[in-house]
Amino acid sequence: MLLVIMGWFLGFLLLYAAWRFYRSINWEEPAEPSPDLQAMHRKEAELLHIQEILEDACGQGKLSKQVVEEFDRYCNAEIQDLKRIETAWRDHRRK
Protein backbone atom coordinates (compact mmCIF):
# COMPACT_ATOMS: atom_id res chain seq x y z
CA MET A 1 0.00 0.00 0.00
CA LEU A 2 2.84 2.33 0.85
CA LEU A 3 4.44 1.67 -2.56
CA VAL A 4 1.19 2.50 -4.33
CA ILE A 5 0.88 5.78 -2.45
CA MET A 6 4.53 6.65 -3.18
CA GLY A 7 3.97 5.78 -6.86
CA TRP A 8 0.94 8.06 -7.07
CA PHE A 9 2.85 10.82 -5.28
CA LEU A 10 5.84 10.56 -7.65
CA GLY A 11 3.48 10.52 -10.64
CA PHE A 12 1.77 13.63 -9.34
CA LEU A 13 5.13 15.37 -8.83
CA LEU A 14 6.16 14.45 -12.37
CA LEU A 15 2.94 15.83 -13.84
CA TYR A 16 3.24 18.97 -11.72
CA ALA A 17 6.83 19.56 -12.89
CA ALA A 18 5.79 19.04 -16.51
CA TRP A 19 2.91 21.49 -16.11
CA ARG A 20 5.21 24.13 -14.58
CA PHE A 21 7.69 23.66 -17.43
CA TYR A 22 4.90 23.94 -20.01
CA ARG A 23 3.65 27.18 -18.47
CA SER A 24 7.15 28.69 -18.19
CA ILE A 25 7.89 28.37 -21.93
CA ASN A 26 6.95 31.25 -24.22
CA TRP A 27 5.41 29.30 -27.09
CA GLU A 28 4.86 32.41 -29.21
CA GLU A 29 8.57 33.24 -29.35
CA PRO A 30 10.16 32.07 -32.61
CA ALA A 31 12.97 29.56 -32.39
CA GLU A 32 16.43 31.04 -32.70
CA PRO A 33 18.36 29.51 -35.60
CA SER A 34 21.84 28.29 -34.79
CA PRO A 35 24.79 27.52 -37.04
CA ASP A 36 25.71 23.89 -37.55
CA LEU A 37 28.96 23.90 -35.59
CA GLN A 38 29.66 20.23 -36.28
CA ALA A 39 29.45 20.80 -40.04
CA MET A 40 31.68 23.85 -39.68
CA HIS A 41 34.34 21.82 -37.84
CA ARG A 42 34.05 19.09 -40.46
CA LYS A 43 34.56 21.63 -43.27
CA GLU A 44 37.60 23.04 -41.49
CA ALA A 45 39.11 19.56 -41.16
CA GLU A 46 38.41 18.83 -44.83
CA LEU A 47 40.07 22.07 -45.92
CA LEU A 48 43.14 21.34 -43.81
CA HIS A 49 43.33 17.81 -45.22
CA ILE A 50 43.09 19.05 -48.80
CA GLN A 51 45.73 21.64 -48.01
CA GLU A 52 48.11 18.91 -46.81
CA ILE A 53 47.48 16.81 -49.92
CA LEU A 54 48.13 19.78 -52.21
CA GLU A 55 51.35 20.60 -50.36
CA ASP A 56 52.50 16.98 -50.80
CA ALA A 57 51.64 17.16 -54.52
CA CYS A 58 53.56 20.42 -54.83
CA GLY A 59 56.54 18.83 -53.08
CA GLN A 60 56.45 16.02 -55.66
CA GLY A 61 56.33 18.55 -58.49
CA LYS A 62 52.79 17.72 -59.61
CA LEU A 63 51.37 21.19 -58.86
CA SER A 64 52.70 24.68 -59.18
CA LYS A 65 53.49 26.78 -56.12
CA GLN A 66 50.92 29.42 -57.17
CA VAL A 67 48.05 26.92 -56.97
CA VAL A 68 49.03 25.89 -53.46
CA GLU A 69 49.44 29.50 -52.33
CA GLU A 70 46.04 30.46 -53.75
CA PHE A 71 44.38 27.52 -52.02
CA ASP A 72 46.18 28.43 -48.78
CA ARG A 73 44.73 31.94 -48.97
CA TYR A 74 41.28 30.51 -49.66
CA CYS A 75 41.57 28.02 -46.77
CA ASN A 76 42.77 30.65 -44.32
CA ALA A 77 39.93 33.00 -45.28
CA GLU A 78 37.32 30.23 -44.94
CA ILE A 79 38.69 29.02 -41.60
CA GLN A 80 38.74 32.58 -40.24
CA ASP A 81 35.11 33.04 -41.34
CA LEU A 82 34.10 29.78 -39.66
CA LYS A 83 35.86 30.73 -36.42
CA ARG A 84 34.32 34.22 -36.52
CA ILE A 85 30.83 32.74 -36.90
CA GLU A 86 31.43 30.28 -34.08
CA THR A 87 32.82 32.97 -31.77
CA ALA A 88 29.92 35.31 -32.54
CA TRP A 89 27.42 32.53 -31.80
CA ARG A 90 29.08 31.59 -28.50
CA ASP A 91 29.31 35.23 -27.42
CA HIS A 92 25.65 35.76 -28.37
CA ARG A 93 24.58 32.82 -26.19
CA ARG A 94 26.44 34.23 -23.16
CA LYS A 95 24.44 37.47 -23.20
pLDDT band at 95 (very low <50, low <70, confident <90, very high): low
Domain boundaries, the chain: 36-95
- Model pLDDT, residue 30: 82
pLDDT band at 73 (very low <50, low <70, confident <90, very high): very high
DSSP one-letter string for 10-46? HHHHHHHHHHHHHHHS-TTSPPPP---HHHHHHHHHH
48 contacts: CB under 8 Å, gap ≥ 6: 75, 79
Q: How do residues 54-65 score in pLDDT, each as one tens digit?
A: 999 999 999 899
Instruction: Of 26, 28, 69, 75, give the one whose Cα is nearest residue 47.
Output: 75
